[in-house]
């Protein structure tokens, strides 16, 4: 029943055919269960193992490897060379299986991590059926049931309030609406036809919690028909979008596949005349031989270890981020964070502590003409903070009569409970957040006397200290009666007996309490004198309340007391008169201490932060101003501005106006789930990479729609399931650390991709050049696979541990469309790869032509190897030359791994030991290479033999210069290139981030008369002038070492 909020109680009862005194009959329950089903949401269907496995093969490069394996199997069958011929395809298959295994395990482990944060709660409900109240499992509730809920209970379904059985009813519905505090509920129908969840004041929503009062109601929706169920349905059908890194890796794979196809065909065509050479025995054998070379080229060009290395690097990143309280559910999201341009953050619990705290107190001063204003520090339920007067901090605030009486009233006129959990290391509350805030205020003020001095309280353990002062007042003053808060009185009173006789303590809305006050307590040190409450004094106090509300959006309560001279032990509403005003307490859900710095870091990093909340604009604007999102003049909660909007104001905008609003929006208040989703869609359409945070069920659709969904560890299971990442500490500052980690991971990803691609280019150059000039193949596919996966794979993984740039959060976000490899970087790949290939072939040729222990052939004889006959062909079957080539390839890649410590910094400034993992990986790789050379069984498998010292010297001589080659390229980068980024948000900048290269070659311009301005190979359009300062000339934000 979607319109229950607009109907009277009798109309709702008539709709379901039920009475408040009898409830549903058994037949009605059975019929309703068949019609509506069980009161539960359909569980998430986990991804089966076979789908996870198939997902690992859905990659173009992997598919090429599968084809290469099939071709190799065909050659093995057709060649008739025995079981040895099946080694190569078997190794390729093992590689594919290993890659798939790594992917499945890491994804499974990421899903397991989230299980640690899930808390299963078995919900029950008190239901009236056939005239009897029973406790029934919540899943068996049906629409039309009469249920009763009380303080501390969880609402089992969507319920229309029918009768309030206490003086008031308040509900914490923050999981659905994001409101920071509990809200009152009533029985009266809502007049507005179109009402957001926050305005449905007579509906209790499934999953929300009763914080005060007791009521009976009619179930109007269960399961998928509840507000939570509708949000869950909105998430259905949303597909996970590809991450920027995945897209770029796919583009790289597509490019490599085209290059591989061209090279393989070219090798085949070039060698067609050699199919009939005598060394092959027949035309068919020759065709198979060159087909095998084509397969070797394919294997050489594909970085087989890349998927495993990328997955491993991301997995290592998730482990490091978990130590910083960020648990990653989906591995690719780690890297996507690095290019985030907009963070849409929930306010309550993320930007704020979600722990209501008194921050301002007002009492009378030494006389009625002066109001004493105090600031109270602290941002949580911990009894840690200072009371600051105009002249400075008060050493013992309880020595002030007004503050002491105010603390006493705050502790006694209070039904909440606060405790410290040593197991969780947190303070836990039961009851209203505003009442807990008053308890914490009483602890900060303390109790009078030397023994209660702050240094004495500090000696207490956390469990005892949490409520030490409150317990003191409770022992001195025994509570005998409580008159609960009601909507008409707007206040609460308690009757207590103490050393000065019975006393009535009251607190409530300032307007209501001040109207009942006839005197006010002075704040002078000597005595506890009172003055009459004049109309002028009352007006001044109300003006202070208004200032608290408009300036800082504080929720203000007034506290008062009076002696109890009646013999009755029961307090009536008429007794709340003749009160003595004690003071005002202004409270708020304060911003987290680190949030302002985190927002500033986001601004410096070119990331826009948008606050999205269910609270009103005034409260949201106040918090936004405190954390630096809004200026003081922009924080007013008035009409809509370009930076602040309410949900209903957003609904009234046209399509173009919404686009403009999304481009400049900073505070989005009073929102429903559809507003969050619409904002994400608009920002993504403008080219932004959007991160959305949330903890409630209402946040789930937007979490799924965003590029990065970030749920809170204390949030709902629905939000966690929808998110890519979970913040165990609910802290916005952790998001900024995660963004820095994502940027560092992408930077390291570029480095190990550069390392692996340059190695693969070297292998292609070696194979292709050997085939082109007509000399024997210097490496076979199994050797190439070993190099690509083992000897290259370990250093590539270790490169993921490179220390991040200390200025990484001073750089603008990269575009999501920005490639992993730009033109200049690809040129560097080609140069380094060409050297690797030439060095590999040179080692092969050296062994045949110049090595004293070799045949010392002429160049012509080496090229004419196809026409050898008889025993003359034995020299070309020797394994020594390919062993030298393979060793050169391995060792040159170890030196090249050192080049990858930094993209542009010289090894003279970044020593090898700056990444000890890389040094260890190089050592292990070399040990493994020596293992296959000197263990006969492995040597036979990889077609290698042990090398002599003279051969090793040549290997080192050919390999080491790769460092000099890359040092020259780095020098060119530092001298003539500078990567700069500009960022703009909104319509003027197109909401995009542009990054470009500009080439500055003054000497070349002079030599050509200024004709050469840009190199089409080394420069890209849209570059940024190098006359601008480099990013490292500005302040630095250091981040932890992150893979």
Tell me which residues are annotated as active site.
346
* The two three-digit tokens of residue 558, written as one number: 């007034």
Burial class from Cβ neighbours inside 10 Å (0-12, 13-18, 19+) for residue 193 reads: exposed
* Count of residues in the chain: 1043
3-class DSSP assignment, residue 670: coil
**How many Å apart are CA 326 and CA 712, to the nearest integer?**
9
8-state DSSP, 779? -
3-class DSSP assignment, residue 174: helix
Burial class from Cβ neighbours inside 10 Å (0-12, 13-18, 19+) for residue 399 reads: middle
**How many Å apart are CA 156 and CA 955, to the nearest integer?**
74
Beta strand 725-727 with 708-712 is: parallel
**How many Å apart are CA 330 and CA 724, to the nearest integer?**
5
* The two three-digit tokens of residue 503, written as one number: 């006393």
Helices (H) and strands (E) in the chain, counts: 36, 32
CA pseudo-torsion sign 784, 786, 792, 796: positive
**How many Å apart are CA 539 and CA 545, to the nearest integer?**
10
**How many Å apart are CA 947 and CA 887, to the nearest integer?**
9
Cα–Cα distances in Å, from 447 out to 187, 581, 851?
A: 43, 20, 93
**How many Å apart are CA 160 and CA 187, to the nearest integer?**
8
* The two three-digit tokens of residue 320, written as one number: 């490091």
CB 735 within 8 A of CB 691: yes
CB 187 within 8 A of CB 159: no
- b/e burial code for range 282-309 (CB count within 10 A of at least 16 → b): eeebbbbbbbbbbbbbbbbbbbbbbbbb
**How many Å apart are CA 444 and CA 382, to the nearest integer?**
9
Phi, psi dihedrals of residue 667, rounded to the nearest 5°: -125, 125
Contact partners, residue 625, CB within 8 Å, separation at least 6: 631, 632, 634, 635
CA dihedral 23, 27, 31, 36 (to 10 degrees): 30
**How many Å apart are CA 22 and CA 758, to the nearest integer?**
80
* The two three-digit tokens of residue 456, written as one number: 């004495």
Cα three-residue angle 33-34-39, rounded to 5 degrees: 35
Cα three-residue angle 7-9-13, rounded to 5 degrees: 100
CB 927 within 8 A of CB 867: no
């Amino acid at each position: 029943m979607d319109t229950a909020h607009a109907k009277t109680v009798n109309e709702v009862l008539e709709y379901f055919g039920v009475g408040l005194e009898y409830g549903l009959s058994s037949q009605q329950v059975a019929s309703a269960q068949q019609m509506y089903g069980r009161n539960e949401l359909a569980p998430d269907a986990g991804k089966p193992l076979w789908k996870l496995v198939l997902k690992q093969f859905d990659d173009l490069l992997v598919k090429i490897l599968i084809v290469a394996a099939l071709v190799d199997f065909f050659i093995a069958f057709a060649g008739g060379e025995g079981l040895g011929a099946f080694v190569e395809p078997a190794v390729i298959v093992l590689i594919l299986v290993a890659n798939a295994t790594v992917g499945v395990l890491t994804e499974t482990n990421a899903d397991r991590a989230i299980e640690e944060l899930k808390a299963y709660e078995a919900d029950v409900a008190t239901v009236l059926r056939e005239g009897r109240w029973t406790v029934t499992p919540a899943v068996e509730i049906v629409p039309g049931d009469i249920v009763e809920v009380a303080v501390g209970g969880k609402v089992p379904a969507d319920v229309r309030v029918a009768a309030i059985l206490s003086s008031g009813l308040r509900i914490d519905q923050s999981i659905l609406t994001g409101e920071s505090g509990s809200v009152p509920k009533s029985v009266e129908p809502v007049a507005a036809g179109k009402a957001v969840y926050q305005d449905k004041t007579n509906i209790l929503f499934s999953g929300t919690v009763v914080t005060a009062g007791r009521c009976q109601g009619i179930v109007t929706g269960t399961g998928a028909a509840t507000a939570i169920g509708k949000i869950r349905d909105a998430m259905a059908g949303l597909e996970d979008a590809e991450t920027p890194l995945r897209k770029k890796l796919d583009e790289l794979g597509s490019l490599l596949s085209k290059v591989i196809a061209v090279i393989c065909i070219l090798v085949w065509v070039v060698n067609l005349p050699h199919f009939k050479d005598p060394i092959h025995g027949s035309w068919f054998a020759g065709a198979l031989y060159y087909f095998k070379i084509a397969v070797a080229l394919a294997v050489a060009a594909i970085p087989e270890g890349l998927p495993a290395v990328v997955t491993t690097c991301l997995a290592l990143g998730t482990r490091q981020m978990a130590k910083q309280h960020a648990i990653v559910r989906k591995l690719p999201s780690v890297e996507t964070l690095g290019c985030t341009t907009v963070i849409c953050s929930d306010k309550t619990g993320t930007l704020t502590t979600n722990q209501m705290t008194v921050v301002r107190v007002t009492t009378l001063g030494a006389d009625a003409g002066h109001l004493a204003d105090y600031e109270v520090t602290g941002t949580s339920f911990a009894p840690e903070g200072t009371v600051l007067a105009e002249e400075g901090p008060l050493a013992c605030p309880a020595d002030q009569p007004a503050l002491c009486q105010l603390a006493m009233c705050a502790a006694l006129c209070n039904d909440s409970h606060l405790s410290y959990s040593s197991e969780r290391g947190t303070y836990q509350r039961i009851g209203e957040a505003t009442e807990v805030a008053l308890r914490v205020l009483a602890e900060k003020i303390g109790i009078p006397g030397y023994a209660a001095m702050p240094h004495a309280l500090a000696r207490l353990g956390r469990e005892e200290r949490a409520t030490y002062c409150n317990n003191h007042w409770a022992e001195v003053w025994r509570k005998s009666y409580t008159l609960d808060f009601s909507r008409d009185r707007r206040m609460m009173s308690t009757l207590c007996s103490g050393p000065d006789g019975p006393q009535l303590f009251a607190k409530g809305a300032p307007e209501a309490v001040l109207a009942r006050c006839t005197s006010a307590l002075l704040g002078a040190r000597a005595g506890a004198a009172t003055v009459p409450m004049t109309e002028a004094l009352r007006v001044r106090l109300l003006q202070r309340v208004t200032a608290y509300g408009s300036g800082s959006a504080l929720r203000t309560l007034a506290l008062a007391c009076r002696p109890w001279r009646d013999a009755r032990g029961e307090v009536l509403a008429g007794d709340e008169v003749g009160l003595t005003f004690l003071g005002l307490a202004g409270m708020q859900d304060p911003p987290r201490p680190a949030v302002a710095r985190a927002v500033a870091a986001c601004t410096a990093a070119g990331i826009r932060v948008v606050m999205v909340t269910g609270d009103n604009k005034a409260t949201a604007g106040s918090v936004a101003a405190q954390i630096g999102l809004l200026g003081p003049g922009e924080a007013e909660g008035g009409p809509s501005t370009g930076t602040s909007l309410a949900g209903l104001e957003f609904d009234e905008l046209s399509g173009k106006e919404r686009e403009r609003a999304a481009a400049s929006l900073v505070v989005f208040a009073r929102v429903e789930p559809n507003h969050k989703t619409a904002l994400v869609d608009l920002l993504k359409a403008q080219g932004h990479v959007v991160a959305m945070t949330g903890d409630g069920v209402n946040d789930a659709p937007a979490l799924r729609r965003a590029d990065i969904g970030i749920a809170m560890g204390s949030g709902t299971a629905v939000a966690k399931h929808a998110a890519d990442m979970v913040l165990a500490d609910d802290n916005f500052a952790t998001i900024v650390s995660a963004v820095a980690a994502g940027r560092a991971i992408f930077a390291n990803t570029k480095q190990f991709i550069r390392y692996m691609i340059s190695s693969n280019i070297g292998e292609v150059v070696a194979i292709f050049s050997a085939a082109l000039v007509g000399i024997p193949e210097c490496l076979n596919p199994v050797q190439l696979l070993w190099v690509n996966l083992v000897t290259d794979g370990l250093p590539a993984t270790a490169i993921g541990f490179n220390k991040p740039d200390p200025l990484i959060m001073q750089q603008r976000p990269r575009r999501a469309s920005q490639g992993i490899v730009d033109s200049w970087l690809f040129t560097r790949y080609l140069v380094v790869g060409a050297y690797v290939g030439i060095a590999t072939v040179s080692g092969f040729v050296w062994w045949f032509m110049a090595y004293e222990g070799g045949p010392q052939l002429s160049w012509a004889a080496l090229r004419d190897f196809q026409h050898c006959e008889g025993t003359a062909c034995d020299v070309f079957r020797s394994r020594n030359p390919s062993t030298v080539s393979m060793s050169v390839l391995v060792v040159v890649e170890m030196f090249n791994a050192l080049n990858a410590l930094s993209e542009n910094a010289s090894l003279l400034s970044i020593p090898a030991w700056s990444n000890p993992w890389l040094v260890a990986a190089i050592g292990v790789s070399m040990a493994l290479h020596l293992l296959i050379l000197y263990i006969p069984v492995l040597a036979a498998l990889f077609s290698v033999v042990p090398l002599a010292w003279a051969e090793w010297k040549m290997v080192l001589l050919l390999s080491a210069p790769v460092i000099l080659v890359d040092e020259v390229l780095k020098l060119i980068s530092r001298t003539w290139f500078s990567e700069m980024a500009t960022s703009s948000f909104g319509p003027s900048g197109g909401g995009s981030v542009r990054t470009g290269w500009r080439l500055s070659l003054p000497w070349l311009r002079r030599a050509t008369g200024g004709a050469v301005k840009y190199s089409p190979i080394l420069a890209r359009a849209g570059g940024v002038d190098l006359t601008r300062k480099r990013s490292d000339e500005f302040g630095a934000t250091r981040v932890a070492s992150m893979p």
